[in-house]
Amino acid sequence: MFKIRAKNQIKFFENDQYGFKMIFTTRIGGYSKSHYRSLNLGFHTQDNKEIILNNKNKLYKTLNYNPADIVYGEQIHSNQIKLLADINNYEKCRDETKTKMSVDGLISRGSNFILGGHFADCLPIYIFDQDTGYFALLHAGWRGTYNKILKKAINIFCNKLESRPENIIIYFGPAISAENYEVKQDLIKKFEYNFNFPTPYLKKAGDKYFLDLKETNRLIAENAGIEKCNIKIFRLCTYQRKQLFFSYRRDNKKTGRMAAFISSNRQIG
């Protein structure tokens, strides 16, 4: 599972399994001030862009990443997924990483790709196939979950990439917990119509409803044929752990972004 690491004043979570490395950053160790203190990595915030760039460069040096190997999606809260073939096909951005794609999921394989995404309550989903070497990173808020981005990714693995469900491992990273993710009753009803299993949610006094993103996606994975033992859930809540994480809900939208990464050191024959 994920273990916390500290290097160059940066704290991050790391999980190294079967030749795949998964990273999830905390808010600790950067240069940002005020609401964005301190390792804000999100250019879509109102933080100073040069400071964000400095945060990113410090993080890349800490993780020993070559920025030219990183691909981000332009996350739009969709179920769109891109299968990447050649790192040289993607345009460089201002922060020397590569993105121009309006997607919430990336899939690739090989050691020359690092897949990245930004998060501040939504669920990071890491996927890898022990046999074929393919790996993926998904961004799943309620919209991505409702539109079954995880099911779509599993279908790509199994139908296009010759994966077998028993070889697919899925990790859920830190995200907002059900206890803190209040939604409207209408949204719960939409979910109930959309899935062939009971929607996981909490109902509290005063007709308050709270959606469980991790449990919903776990059920999506199981219904898509992934074995229960191959679905791993990191239970930390971004909303509750203010010292560790930014939270879009908790901080009333004015907050920074963490980053998730997945990469591989496996040789492709």
Please state the three-class secondary structure of 152-186 as a single string.
HHHHHHHHCCCCCHHHEEEEECCECCHHHCEECHH
Tell me the C-alpha distance between 160 and 94, whole Å. 33
CA distances from 208 to 34, 203, 216, 251 (A): 32, 6, 18, 20
With respect to residue 167, please indicate whether it lies within any of the assigned structural domains: yes
With respect to residue 195, please indicate whether it lies within any of the assigned structural domains: no
- Residue 177: is the preceding peptide bond cis (ω within 30°)? no
With respect to residue 34, please indicate whether it lies within any of the assigned structural domains: yes
What pLDDT score does 50 carry? 97
Compute the average pLDDT of residues 198-217.
95
Q: Which of 56-70, 80-94, 127-141, 181-195 has the lowest mean pLDDT?
A: 80-94
Give the percent of the chain with pLDDT over 90.
89
Among residues 51, 133, 139, which one has the least CA distance to residue 99? 139
Among residues 81, 187, 66, which one has the least CA distance to residue 127? 81
Q: Which of 30-39, 88-97, 173-182, 212-221 has the lowest mean pLDDT?
A: 88-97
What pLDDT score does 95 carry? 81
Is the predicted pLDDT of residue 122 greater than 90, yes or no? yes
Compute the average pLDDT of residues 45-60.
97
With respect to residue 225, please indicate whether it lies within any of the assigned structural domains: yes
Kindly provide the b/e burial profile for residues 218-254, where b requires at least 16 CB atoms within 10 angstroms of the residue's own CB: bbbbeebebeeebbbebebbbbeeeebbbbbebbeee
* Residue 250 domain boundaries: 3-177+214-264
Q: Token pair of 196, please? A: 């062939």
Report the number of distinct structural domains present in the chain: 1
Pairing of strands 201-204, 182-183: unpaired
Q: What is the CATH number of the domain that holds 77?
A: 3.60.140.10
Is the predicted pLDDT of residue 144 greater than 80, yes or no? yes
Among residues 136, 157, 156, 140, which one has the least CA distance to residue 148? 140
Mean of all residue pLDDT scores within the chain = 95
With respect to residue 139, please indicate whether it lies within any of the assigned structural domains: yes
With respect to residue 196, please indicate whether it lies within any of the assigned structural domains: no
What pLDDT score does 269 carry? 55
Is the predicted pLDDT of residue 202 greater than 90, yes or no? yes
